[in-house]
Amino acid sequence: AGELRQLLGELRLEYEDLSTESQQRADELVAMKSSKADLQAKLEQAAQKEAASEVERVEVCQLRRRVAALSAHLSSVLTPVSAACRTRPLSSYKESELGTRALSVDGTEITVEDSLGRSRKFKVDRILDDAKQEDLFLAAAPWVEHAASGGSSCVFAYGATGSGKTHSILG
């Protein structure tokens, strides 16, 4: 009877060990299934991102083609050289300068008269008479856009010191 009790005790211990081991493996299996589900979800997300990335790549290619087409069209429309003149408002001159010159604008022709009464005429493509910065920027916009889309353009200001070149270009 003592041997049976001892054997029964050993079997109970072995059963408890096996039960504990079985529970640990069941817990590991649950954790593995959860990890598998997480990995599958991440794989699905990666596949969706890859598909979205491909769509974006195609859209970028289409936009680049459109920019190239618009740039080519803009090149065909823009004149190779265009001259514009921005006049300063009379209020911007010092009082001592007001009587020394006269300026008249007629369409795209500017007449400048000096203090000796001599006049000089200049023909330009566009006159920005008393124009605001916004008007000037809009006038230069096609050439700036052409350069921004890969074309060649040059916008520069010419005039005497203090005549407003920097203000015209930079605002």
Give the mean pLDDT of the chain: 84
What's the pLDDT at 82? 85
Q: What pLDDT digit, counting tens, does each position of 64-81 carry?
A: 888 778 777 777 777 778
% residues pLDDT > 70 (the chain): 91
**Helix 2-77 to helix 133-148 angle, to the nearest 10 degrees?**
110
Q: Are 115 and 100 in contact (CB under 8 A)?
A: yes
Q: What pLDDT digit, counting tens, does each position of 30-60 carry?
A: 999 999 999 999 999 999 999 889 999 999 9
Residue boundaries of the structural domains of the chain: 1-77, 84-170
What's the pLDDT at 98? 53
If you average pLDDT over residues 120-146, what whole number do you get? 88
- pLDDT at residue 121 above 80? yes
